[in-house]
Amino acid sequence: MKRFLYGIDFGTTNSALAIYDEESKEIRSTIIIPSLIYFYHQPNTENAQNYVVGEEAITAYLNDDMKGRFIKSVKQILSRSSFTETRIHNKKYNASDLVAIILKELKTRADLFIGQDCRKAVIGRPVFFDDDNVQKDTLAQTRLSKAAEIAGFVDVRYQFEPIGAAFAYEKTLAKKENVLVADLGGGTTDFTYLVLDPEKVGSRERKNDMMANGGIYVGGDSFDSAFMWDKGTPYFGKHTQYEATPGKVLTVPKSLFANICSWEQMNFFNGLRIKKDIEDYYFFSGKNPQFKNLITLIEHNLGYSVFQSIEKTKITLTNADSSMFSYHKMDIKIEEEISLGVYEEVIAKDVARIANYLDEFMLQNSIDPENIDSLFLTGGTSMMGSIQKLFKNRFPHVNLNSGDNFKSVAKGLAYSGYLFED
């Protein structure tokens, strides 16, 4: 039997697995799936699987008229101590169970490819799962380890995601370099500063080459939430006024709209009390049509499709000066042209948080920009103009490199086999 090792990048938005052949020391294939799970509205007959994973989750969700349970950004619940479990079709799922579903899907597809049951993996983890809180970080790591076990992995090591990205880049180098790696994903932005040396690829002692690691809980999802708050919520009645008591006019609470800006918060509306409040606001607003859109959004579970339109608007702007924010479903009609300038204003606060963190990272680790030989940017969010500008402005004399934005971390993790030699 041949010997294989899997490099697994379990991401907020996308998850990838690189199949590494330990004999030929080569990556044989890379599998990538969106990190999505859909539990059917109607459970299947006994023993059949009640969910689908990846790209198919979207199709199944739409075919089911969006009535079942659609789970996105499951990585973000790893560090959330308030999340213990969720019940779906009379079965309980804790955070590890949900994460295991994604890891298992990747493992099954890869095992099928190699025709073996490979139980050895290097799994990536962000530098911080949830900003700088040690307890939450430990919780997340424990849950991730449990998930790997449930998914069928036995021999597992963990590696920081940006180090994975760095090792993928190292394969392309001809000489030794000091490299600043930035991995900008959906949930987090991670930095690592290290010495890369093509002669050391796969070698045992790499610890001394890692000069600094850091990260912040801001990524592409934060931009989408900011966009929803600024540009989306007015279409769902953010400015609606209602008559609280005769003659007393108030604006509906902003908190309602904070809850439609982040995916995990959408379940907030499941409570009976909040549903009743929303109907009252609607009635006492004189049936405001925009506020009606909020009711439609909640009742028909449209959150995911609205965020798809928001993401599309963002992605178009990576190559264009303006983009249409367009959403048409049921009675909801949104059609607004968004210029790049306006978009950049919407996300300015989050970009500034990344920029400030980068300055802090440089300062705290005493990194002199003069000593950086090159920059390596990866992750979906690194394609954005604001982000490219940020790095070009900070490091005008340093070469900006990028590889495969969605596969490089998984590949680099697969080159981290040295972790097993402790």
Ligand X SMILES: Nc1ncnc2c1ncn2[C@@H]1O[C@H](COP(=O)(O)OP(=O)(O)OP(=O)(O)O)[C@@H](O)[C@H]1O
When asked if residue 226 is in the footprint of ligand X (CB under 6 A), the reply is no
Which among 307, 390, 386 has a CA at the least distance from the CA of 344? Answer: 386
> Taking CB under 6 A as the rule, which mask of x and - marks residues 23-62 in contact with ligand X?
----------------------------------------
Number of Cβ within 10 Å of residue 252's Cβ equals 23
When asked if residue 185 is in the footprint of Mg ion (CB under 5 A), the reply is yes
CB 282 within 8 A of CB 273: no
Q: How many residues at the interface with ligand X, by CB under 6 A?
A: 23
Q: How many residues at the interface with Mg ion, by CB under 5 A?
A: 2
Tell me which of Mg ion, ligand X, none is bound by residue 303, counting a contact when its beta carbon lies within the kind-specific cut-off of 5 to 8 angstroms. Answer: none
Among 6, 18, 20, 75, binds ligand X (CB under 6 A): 75
Among 11, 54, 219, 220, binds Mg ion (CB under 5 A): 11
Among 185, 232, 303, 417, binds ligand X (CB under 6 A): 185
Backbone φ and ψ of 373, nearest 5°: -85, -40
CB 30 within 8 A of CB 18: yes
When asked if residue 233 is in the footprint of ligand X (CB under 6 A), the reply is no
Among 381, 386, 408, 416, binds ligand X (CB under 6 A): 381
Among 162, 219, 232, 237, binds ligand X (CB under 6 A): 219
Token digits of residue 313: 């608007």
When asked if residue 379 is in the footprint of ligand X (CB under 6 A), the reply is yes
Kindly tell me the burial class for residue 83, based on how many C-beta atoms sit within 10 Å of its own C-beta (0-12, 13-18, 19 or more): middle
The residue range among 167-175, 215-223, 237-245, 324-332 that interacts with ligand X, by the rule CB under 6 A, is 215-223
* CA pair distance 68, 17, nearest whole angstrom: 28
Q: Is 381 helix (H, G, I), strand (E, B) or coil?
A: helix
When asked if residue 201 is in the footprint of ligand X (CB under 6 A), the reply is no
Of 188 and 285, the one with the shorter C-beta distance to ligand X is 188
Print the SS3 string covering 268-280.
HHHCHHHHHHHHH
Of 219 and 232, the one with the shorter C-beta distance to Mg ion is 219
> Taking CB under 6 A as the rule, which mask of x and - marks residues 243-282 in contact with ligand X?
----------------------------------------
Dmax (CA) for the chain in angstroms is 80
CB of 185 to Mg ion, least distance (A): 3
The residue range among 106-114, 241-249, 263-271, 314-322 that interacts with ligand X, by the rule CB under 6 A, is 314-322
* CA pair distance 98, 83, nearest whole angstrom: 12
Of 126 and 237, the one with the shorter C-beta distance to ligand X is 126
CA angle 229, 234, 238 (to 5 degrees): 85
Residue 36, CA distances (Å) to 16, 296, 331 in order: 13, 23, 27
Token digits of residue 127: 């530098």
Among 406, 413, 414, 416, binds ligand X (CB under 6 A): 406
Give the number of C-alpha atoms closer than 13 A to the C-alpha of residue 78, restricted to the C-beta side: 28
Backbone φ and ψ of 391, nearest 5°: -75, -35
When asked if residue 105 is in the footprint of ligand X (CB under 6 A), the reply is no
Among 5, 8, 11, 167, binds ligand X (CB under 6 A): 11
Task: List residues near ligand X by CB under 6 A.
Answer: 11-14, 75, 185-188, 219-221, 311, 314-315, 318, 379-381, 383-384, 405-406
Task: List residues near Mg ion by CB under 5 A.
Answer: 11, 185
